[in-house]
Amino acid sequence: MADAERPQIYLITPPDVALDVFPARLARVLDGAEIACIRLALATRDEDLLSRAADAIREVAHARDVALVIENHVLLAERLGLDGVHLTDGARQIRKLRKDMGNDAIIGAFCGVTRHDGINAAEAGADYVAFGPVGTTPLGDGAQAGEDLFEWWSEMIEVPVVAEGALTAELVAKLGPMTDFFGIGDEIWREDDALAALRGLLAPLG
């Protein structure tokens, strides 16, 4: 499935966003690159801050026909008119959420580096499965989602797969033929010009 098409881009927000600045930064990226989906992935658990961020980002995203999902906060996804939810705990809630949210909602699952968790999420009804980190990062336990995992998935499983976490242009070149989406966040937001950083990261795709 993945090897016939150029992977799509799935943007991940920074864990903390300044609402007087970030929507304009996001708009510039969306206007300069083809983006399939955005994940609101804030570290805060403050409902008011999450709601205000979701409202601001939804306005930018939906004006450009880009889907917006929120990380874990299922009730907010429905209340704020978002397109779905991204779960960080694999398959555990997917069957119930699919029943509650309906077939139109996007439900994705992060499954770390584990093929077994990915299969469970796919069988439970996830719209996509994310594996990562694919690059070297001081965070977590040092485990990485390797090329062999994506190669196996693209050959055996029809559910789309996302490669994310510490991406580099070299990894984009290597994983491009075997992933459906690249999940890109800090790799571009830490740079002054996020759009230029995105273009550089994706340069190997041509």
Cα 187 to chain centroid, rounded: 13
61 burial via Cβ count (<10 Å: 0-12, 13-18, 19+): buried
Q: Contact at 8 Å (CB) between 202 and 9? A: yes
Beta bridge partners of 40: 70
Q: Which of 68, 67, 116, 58 is nearest to 90 (CA)?
A: 116
pLDDT higher than 60, residue 19: yes
**What pTM does this model have?**
0.95
Number of domains the chain contains: 1
Q: Which domain holds residue 29?
A: 2-205
pLDDT tens digits, 121-167: 999 999 999 999 999 988 778 899 999 999 999 999 999 999 999 99
Q: Which of 13, 9, 34 is nearest to 82 (CA)?
A: 13
State the CATH number of the domain containing residue 133: 3.20.20.70
How many angstroms separate the CA atoms of 37 and 40, rounded?
Answer: 10
pLDDT tens digits, 174-190: 999 999 999 999 999 99
